[in-house]
Structure 1
């Protein structure tokens, strides 16, 4: 093959100069925006990417004194311990059930509250309701547990005392296996619904108002507008949040479950994260705990990719 003529190479070099200069000038004009990105990039590098080196612990008999590089390698033995553990199927079942309950119990109330607030025309009333429902989001789960305990504690709780005084007997809902999972869902709805509704309110604000005006001209009522304009306008946001939640389906909410959990409800409330906590901090089996973390990450990755492809096939828009 003949070599490319020198004139042609020089012409390509000259043609590429304006493009390079344009890119450099664009970067220079946006230099302050790139500078504002630096703290966020540093945060993710230090706390999300550098700690990934700890994944090696999953393949080691980790020793605190020897560290990552001094501990002995055991291959996949830690994963065998997990899958051979008689508690594995039970904690996976509990985790999936609680996560599915929370996905259904959280996303639907978020949408309903957002739709209700969107229909309110009195601004001060709308802002008041939004502030009241958004407030519990800032409470820690310790405080939420304290509030739940004040209502449900056996013998001294408000509801328990009312049932006893009415002559209906003694109840202990905090240690009731049948009530534990619904209690988790109800407390999470009370705590997080206001925050979730804000995301959907932002999506509602982005819907073109001319669509509603055209629907009114065509004689569509409020229900028709809701069905044909409002809900389709929320579809992409709903699918996006659903994919994210499906990816974290093995994260059933450690903070909440760990605080509400007690010995009498272990059969229905013990999840992957509480099991990892016991192995990692109580038994000091850091390798086994890290192996479970790797397993959770792989499952989450597979579910996110699968949910994203499924969302695109049914006509929605995925994450990428």
Structure 2
């Protein structure tokens, strides 16, 4: 009896014991997903009445109306994002509907991609050093790198992205986190049939942009990575919505947004069908920046666009209360994601510059 007592005391006071004693959450795995440049307006109100049938922003007049238009904005958003407004609205949380005073913003004042992704991944804005989209290795340590340094997570952290700057944002060279992004191919001697097929098709279909591949390649590489390598932490960054918007293609923007909702559904359905991940995995989904609200400014973002820092986020998982659309007034920001993610894993975030935990996201 005395022996057992001293063993208990040792476990509680030792570093190993403290780390495990603090683990009160059910989350063992996290998948973070970003959705480049998707506005909160489409997420919470569906297709925009200003643009849904504008012949200057869509190739074929009326092509969006049957699938995405309804006079009721709640119906419109369900048509555009059926997974978000069924499963996540029923079992998780969605933040950022400013009509209720529920505000989510960037902390950085740049309001474009690299600063936005740095903030999401490292937990704080760094406007002095992260102020361009140049391919410069991130001087900041991301939550992915911190986790990859831990024995429990080392070799179990992966990242996939459509934009070819992600290896620099994550600092693949220093962090050791494998990043498949841009036009990278799946590598290794044990490629699956799917990986070989996606490798071939990606080389045959380049897409319309020089530095951003089409999202189907990112998605299927990520899905195979999840099934094959079974990571504990994965980051997936879809990119099409922002590039279609910059090109003024509202129809492509809407179709891509709808398809990404379907991709995220596929990820969640697989997670919930696998015993290693089922009821042990949290999905956090957000964006890197907002964009304008007029027919012209919608194409852009950045410090010159007043709405460029207005964003959103959502979560679903075993520790997140099923509160649905958050209607409480308040202010949140993307700098809070990294520390919240660590808290879900039962860990303390090691950088005191990072934003605070989103308490409502963890019961």
TM-score range, shorter chain: under 0.3
Higher relative CO (CA 8 A, sep ≥ 6), structure 1 or 2? 2
User: TM-score scaled by structure 1?
Assistant: 0.22
Per residue, is there more strand in 1 or in 2? 2
